[in-house]
Amino acid sequence: VAQKAFRAYSVRGTMYLNDEYTKKAFPKLLIFTSVYDADLNKKILEEFTKTQLNAINGLNILPPVKEYSEDERMKVFRENAFDFVITTEVTDRMADKGILTQEIEVTLFDVEKKNKVAIFVGRAVSTTADQDRGVHKFLRAVVKELQPIIVL
C-alpha cells in the first residue's frame, strides 16, 4: 500500500493506494456522498465531469429510501457497467469562533476486483457561514489526485 500526502488551500490530506486494481481508458464512476444537499452533490459531480470522468450520482441509481445488501449493490454496479464506486463522508465536524474544521474520507472501490483501491483522509477548513466550501475544496483536491490513478 502506497501513501502520499496532498495539500491545497485550506485542505490537507493523505492518500492510501492499493496497487491491486486496473486502470480503465474511460472509467464509469458512481459517486455516493453522505451529504444530502442537492447543490453540494451537484458541485461534487461537476468536479469529476470537469476532468472528463464519466461520473453519475449514486442517489439516482440507489436512492436512500431503502437499505441495500452488498449483493444488491454489486448487482446494480455490474448491471450498469460501473468500473469504480466513490463514496464521500464527513466523519467529524468541529466549529470554533466561526471556523469550521471537517474531517473527510473518500473511498475508491474497484467493482471488478471487489476491493478498495484508494482511501483519501483529510481535513478541510472553512468558515461556519460557508461550510460546504471546505468539503468542495477537499473533493477538488481528491479529484486532481484520483484522475491519474484510475485513467489510462
pLDDT at 124: 82
Q: For residue 65, is pLDDT > 80?
A: yes
The partner residues of 116 in beta bridges, in order of sequence, read: 109
Pairing of strands 11-17, 28-33: unpaired
Residues in the chain, overall count: 152
Question: pTM of whole model > 0.95?
Answer: no
CA atoms in the 13 A half-sphere facing the CB of 85:
23
pLDDT higher than 80, residue 133: no
Residue 62 corresponds to which cell in the numbers above?
A: 440507489
Q: Which three cell numbers stand for residue 75?
A: 448487482
pLDDT surpassing 70 at residue 32: yes
pLDDT at 122 over 80: yes
Half-sphere exposure of 12 (CA within 13 A, CB side): 4
Q: What is the pLDDT of residue 74?
A: 93
Mean pLDDT value across residues 98-127: 87
The grid coordinates listed for 40 are 453540494
